[in-house]
Structure formats: C-alpha cells, structure tokens
Amino acid sequence: MKWSEAFHVTLREAPGDAEVVSHRLLARAGMIQKLAAGIYAFTPMGLRSLRKLIEIVREEMDASGAQEVDLPILQPAELWRETGRWERYIDDGILFHLKDRKGGEFALAPTAEEAVTDLVRRSVRSWRQLPFNLYQIRTKFRDEIRPRFGLLRGREFLMKDAYSFDVDEKGLDVHYRKMEKAYRTIFERCGLEYALVQADSGAIGGSASEEFMVVADTGEDALVFSDAGDYGANVEKAVTAPLPEPWAGEEPKAFGEADSPTPGLVTSQDQADHFGVPVSRIVKTMLYEAVREDGSSFVAAVLIRGDLDVNEVKLPRALGVGVNVGVSGSGSIIHARLLPEERLDAVAHTRPGFVGPIGLTPPAGQDEVPIYVDRSLENGLNVYCGANREGLHHSNLSVKRDLRVKAVVEVATAREGDPAPTGSGTLKIKRGIEVGHIFKLGTKYSQAMKCEVEGPNQKYVPLVMGCYGLGVGRTMAAAVEQSHDGDGIIWPVPLAPYAVTLASLQRDADVIAAADRIYAELKGAGIEVFYDDRDERPGVKFKDADLVGFPVRVVVGAKALARGVVEVSTRSQKKAEGIAPERLVEVVKATLAAGAKAIVGAT
C-alpha cells in the first residue's frame, strides 16, 4: 500500500482522554479512533493488526478441533431470565438492554453462555452426538464502569468465546487442557510474554479457572508468583504457606477483659505501637454482610491479623462454610460486602477500630453472628482484640479458648515476600493484563436451561460445560503495552499491520524510481509493505514509521544509492545497515523470520 493512496492519518498529540499507553499510541498511530467512551473505530491500518490476531486465534481454535459458529448479539430477555442473569446483570449495571417496537426486551450480549446452550439443547439428544466445542469471534457489549482504558476495557469489544459440551467431567478435562494448549500457542505465536495463573472461579460453580496474563507494568491485575517458578496466581486467588506466628511457643495468659485502653486509636498499627507489640498481635474484626442467591443475607465476623488484609473476592466461598446453622435463608453466597457503618452500631455497639468478636448482637433472623477466623489467626494466642466499646480493647485473647469459631478460612491477601504455598520460594508480585480466561463451568447453565442428553445408561444428564474467553482487542492493546518505547509501538512481527515500511527520502526521479522498484520487488516476494511515498521531509517519515512501529524499515535515499545500497533497520534496534538492492528481499525475509530484532544476513 502506498501512503499517498491510503486512508492513514497519524497524530502528533494523543487525545486528551487517552490514559493508557496503548490507547495513546494506537490513536496516535492512526490505528483506532474513539467514537464514544469505550467504543472505538478501527482504521484500515488498525484493522490489519486486528485481523492478524483474529486469524491466529481462528487457526489455533480450528486446530484444537473447535468449530466456529455465529451466535446472535441481540438476545431476548427470556433466555437470560432462565439463568437468573437478566436481573443480576441489570443490577450490576453491566448489561446493555433495550426494547423492540412491541415492548419485547433484549440484551446486547456481554457473553454467550445462554445463546450457545439454547443452540445445543434444541438439537442434541444423545450422548453419542457429543463431545464438541463451539466458538465464535464476535462483538460483545458491556457497560463497564470505567471504560477509560482504550481497547483494554471497551464497552463494545471483540472477544473469542468458546463453549465445550461433554457428558462428564472427564470429557471437560480434555477440552479444558486442549484450550489451555491452544491459548499458549496463540500467545506464543503473537510473540507475547504471558503467564498462566490460577484464578478465582467465582462464588457459584466452576471447579477450575485459569487466566492468561500478558505481563506488563501497566496491567490492572496483580499477579503473584513464586520466585522458585512453581506457582502463579491472580492476587484474588493467591494463597501462601502458613505464616510465622508471633506467639509461637508461648503459654496462654489470662484473658484481660476490656483492660487495654486505646483512646482514639482506630488503626491496628496505631494500637500495636501503643501497646508496643507487632501489628500481627492485633486482631482485626471485620463485619461483612453475605448476600445469597435467593436475596437473603446474614452478618458474619471475619477475624484476621492486623498485618494482613481480607481479600473480599475470596469471601463468598469462605463464608459458605457451615452457614446454614443459626441463620435463615439458603443458597450459595454471591457476594459479601462490609457492613455499612450505619448498621455497625446495632451489631457491635461501637465504631470501626473497636469492633471485636465477643458480645456481638445478631440482627433479626440470626441467632448468632458466626465467627470466621483467617488461618493466620487460627492458633492466635495472647493477642489484642476490640472490646466493642469505644477506646477499649481486650488483651490476651486466645482464639481457641475464648471464641466459638464457625470455621477457619483462608481469606488473607497474599503479600510480596510471603512464603509460597508450594513450600519453596517466596512470593513476588508482578502486574498483568488478563487476555484470556479458561473456566470449567460444570452444569450451571445446562441445569438451569435443561440442556440434557440421554446418557449411556438411558438416564438424562445435564451437559458438562466449559467456557473459554479471549479478548481479541484487549490482546492487541496488551501487545502495545508490553512492547513500545518513547517513539511509538514496537509490533511483534505477527501482529504488525505491515511487516515493512519503505520510505523514499528525496523527490528526485532516480530515488523515486529505485523506491518504486523496491516496492514492487518486496510485494512480488509476498512481503507486506507500507510505502511512504509522500512528499514529506525525512524526519517526518521516520517519526511516523517509528510511531506505527513497523518491524522493518527500508529507506531509499540519494546518498546511499550512490554507494549502491539502501538502508535497512529494525524497529527494535534502529541500527541501519546498507544492503545492496539485489539482496534486499533475502535480508528482509531472514530478518522478519528471526523476529526482526536485528538485521539478519547483512553481509
């Protein structure tokens, strides 16, 4: 493509609202343009990169045996009501929804479990028709709260989503591992540094869940790795080996009821300093309201060491242990939120900072406030806790002796430097961008939607499903987050809009003729070239080439031509080599094949 004939416009300045580097650079490179918050147009240049990624994804999905489908984006509310997600997604505010002229309600699909389950239940009758894995590469809509991160968090975005169907868990395992392998190949082919981490599989259902993360300092997610290399998890899921206990080897002392004044000291650290003890000797008592599927809720106390924080993503599952005793209502817990301060007084009779586990008043519908203890505090001995009175603490609490503990749970957030759960190494934290997610769904959707087949023993069984998402636009942006410099994008070869940019430096006839000839030759050799034939100064052309980030640059100028060469450089090294035109195709091909780090085959 010649620039003079292309629709391609680069910008000197990034749009004012572009906050992340991928948005700034993709916009300046003239690859995407914002239409509204979280909604982007792809230009011809941008679409070329997106298409390359789409093709890699499609090839690997096909190679895995998955089959491509196209599910409608506009989906009737009834379908979403069958799984209870209509109300939930509207409550969460994530669902774009609308009415047709007759008042019928529809959603713009944020994901497609319901639609694919409907497709399957209407046509599959027997286990003999299984297994299969259906995928699509289609636009999704989510009304994200903060759609400010360019393609990383769109409100309209492209996702590859796949759904596997099996009669049993064994089949699901096979599909799940196939998807893991396909995703690894996809991200490797894209030339991205990525990590696979354990993820939280949510409050309901789902036995395994892993995320593919592109490692980038700008990532939204915190990832926890063992420096021994044998453990990786999203911080939401990460656990540690048991932590050293400050009370190790002590004898329990007599409980000191409300004997420790803490006037005006509300943080654990201030209290610890006041008592002259490590902050791990202060018990934080957090009151949470756990909300169940059926809308019922109960209040629970979660006790954790003062040096640790509760990871709220882990709470729903943790608080599900033994809750049906002493509290009314039923069903899984879908989320847990800190009890609002205005309700604290009725339960704890004090304000934050002085809440403790002894003497809590259960709200109506509960005959107790169940006490959950983080594992780090399971053996807690001679520690301080709030006395449920302003400015007062108890001393020498012994958790096992003094409290009726409903369950010991693991809800602490892992910290850098904690021991890894695998027993070797300590934890390090890196940042990453979630680009893919593989998830064992089980029968959650097939049960709710009666997607059943006759099994080998003539009994009807709900299908066992897996779902596998991959953010296509987000992966493109993640590639930019991972690979750029002060001048612009450094595309990995497989995702570059064109492999080569060619620039003519002067307007004189010889230079133009030589550049035209090289353009034809490179194209003839099957190499994708973007030819900057504009009547612009060399500096402008170089800046634009760096900004868009073509992996290889070929420059045709009068001086070099006089020496019988053209100048070739890579975007990542920028060191130009003089190459005789007759060797150009060979050198460019070898350089691209080697990932366009350095020029290959210069002499």
Judged by the rule CB under 5 A, the positions of this chain that interact with Mg ion are: 437
357 forms part of the interface with ligand ATP (CB under 6 A): no
Which segment (7-15, 251-259, 338-346, 467-475) binds ligand ATP by CB under 6 A?
A: 467-475
Cβ proximity to Mg ion, 66 vs 159, nearer residue: 159
Q: Which does 159 bind (CB under 5 to 8 A by kind): Mg ion, ligand ATP, none?
A: ligand ATP
Q: What distance in Å separates the CA atoms of residue 523 and residue 511, rounded to the nearest whole number?
A: 18
Of residues 48, 474, 541, 553, which one binds ligand ATP by CB under 6 A? Answer: 474
Shortest separation between residue 239's beta carbon and ligand ATP, angstroms = 20
Q: Dihedral angle at the C-alpha atoms of 108, 109, 110, 113, nearest 10 degrees?
A: 160
Cβ proximity to ligand ATP, 380 vs 436, nearer residue: 436
Q: Which does 314 bind (CB under 5 to 8 A by kind): Mg ion, ligand ATP, none?
A: none
Distance of CA 143 to the CA centre of its chain: 17
Shortest separation between residue 375's beta carbon and Mg ion, angstroms = 26
Distance of CA 30 to the CA centre of its chain: 26
Cβ proximity to ligand ATP, 2 vs 148, nearer residue: 148
Q: Across the strands, what pairs with 215?
A: 432
Q: What distance in Å separates the CA atoms of residue 298 and residue 366, rounded to the nearest whole number?
A: 7
Of residues 28, 153, 406, 440, which one binds ligand ATP by CB under 6 A? Answer: 153
Which segment (61-69, 127-135, 152-160, 524-532) binds ligand ATP by CB under 6 A?
A: 152-160
Cβ proximity to Mg ion, 151 vs 272, nearer residue: 151
Q: Which sign does the torsion angle of CA 588, 591, 594, 595 carry?
A: negative
Shortest separation between residue 149's beta carbon and ligand ATP, angstroms = 8
Return the closest-CA partner of residue 330 out of 368, 298, 367. 298
Q: Which does 153 bind (CB under 5 to 8 A by kind): ligand ATP, Mg ion, none?
A: ligand ATP
440 forms part of the interface with ligand ATP (CB under 6 A): no
Give me the residue label for tokens 């505010």: 93
Of residues 473, 488, 549, 557, which one binds ligand ATP by CB under 6 A? Answer: 473
Residues 6 or more apart whose Cβ sits within 8 Å of residue 301: 285, 286, 287, 288, 357, 360, 369, 370, 371, 372
Tell me the CA distances in angstroms from 227 to 128, 196, 197, 235, one per residue in order: 46, 15, 14, 15
19 forms part of the interface with ligand ATP (CB under 6 A): no
Return the closest-CA partner of residue 396 out of 216, 500, 267, 253. 253
Shortest separation between residue 133's beta carbon and ligand ATP, angstroms = 16
Cβ proximity to ligand ATP, 191 vs 436, nearer residue: 436
Q: Which does 157 bind (CB under 5 to 8 A by kind): ligand ATP, Mg ion, none?
A: ligand ATP
Shortest separation between residue 37's beta carbon and ligand ATP, angstroms = 12
Token pair of 190, please? 């894209």
Give me the residue label for tokens 């009758």: 125
Which residue in the shown chain puts its C-beta closest to ligand ATP?
A: 471
Residue 110: cis peptide before it, omega within 30 degrees of 0: no
144 forms part of the interface with ligand ATP (CB under 6 A): yes
Tell me the CA distances in angstroms from 152 to 189, 249, 347, one per residue in order: 20, 50, 42
Give the 3-state secondary structure of 273-336. Answer: HHHCCCHHHEEEEEEEEEEECCCCEEEEEEEEECCCCECHHHHHHHHCCCCCCCECCCCCEEEE
Shortest separation between residue 199's beta carbon and Mg ion, angstroms = 7
Cβ proximity to ligand ATP, 36 vs 254, nearer residue: 36
142 forms part of the interface with ligand ATP (CB under 6 A): yes
Of residues 357, 471, 492, 494, which one binds ligand ATP by CB under 6 A? Answer: 471
H or E element at residue 438: strand 427-442
Shortest separation between residue 434's beta carbon and ligand ATP, angstroms = 5
**Residues forming the site for ligand ATP (CB under 6 A):** 111, 142, 144, 153-154, 157, 159, 434-437, 469, 471, 473-474
